[in-house]
Amino acid sequence: MAITDKIYIKNHRQIASQLETSFPKSAFSGATLDILFQGQGLANLDEATQDRVLDFAEDFLDCDCQSNPHCGCPERKFIGYLLELREDGLGPDAIVDILGEEYMLYAYSGDILSFLDSSIRTLEAAERLADVENHDDKAKQLRDVRENLAR
Ligand SMILES: [Zn+2]
């Protein structure tokens, strides 16, 4: 399962009752993207929640793809965002805190940790491949990214 399948809406029950409809707890589930982030019910949410929902939509659902928001861009952008937080030196617990503050989302820090570990392993594999094929610049570039993440 991708990490984006393990990102949840904080205060889910409260938000569902404000919207007077139900939607899945998972932030990137198709129905949540439609109902919460692209839906007409925004005005029914309290102001703090509205702000977070709008921020999320602006930051991750802003592509022009025809199938937006079901095009895969939101998930890709979100993964990039998680990796940036890690590069900024944040650990899994701090990342979980930021998700709550900025977007009213939550995740388990163990899930974030294994996501970061597997990202590092993916980079290592790519690095080895670049080494084998003598793409020295590419290998160095991958190694720099990985070392930033692994710090
Ligand atoms: Zn897109």
Helix, strand and coil content of the chain, in percent to the nearest 5, comes to 70, 5, 30
In this prediction, residue 40 carries a pLDDT of: 80
In this prediction, residue 134 carries a pLDDT of: 94
pLDDT for 47-68, tens place per residue?
999 999 999 999 999 999 999 9
Distance 79 CA to ligand 1 centre (A): 14
Distance 75 CA to ligand 1 centre (A): 9
Distance 67 CA to ligand 1 centre (A): 7
* Segments making up each domain of the chain, as ranges: 3-108
Distance 22 CA to ligand 1 centre (A): 25
pTM for this predicted structure:
0.91
In this prediction, residue 41 carries a pLDDT of: 83
pLDDT for 87-96, tens place per residue?
999 999 999 9
Distance 107 CA to ligand 1 centre (A): 23
- Pick from 66, 50, 46: which is nearest to 58 by CA? 50
Instruction: Provide the Cα torsion 76, 79, 85, 86; round to 10°.
Output: -130
> What are the residues whose beta carbon lies below 5 Å from ligand 1 (ion)?
63, 65, 71, 73
Distance 63 CA to ligand 1 centre (A): 5
Pure H helices in 61-91: 73-87
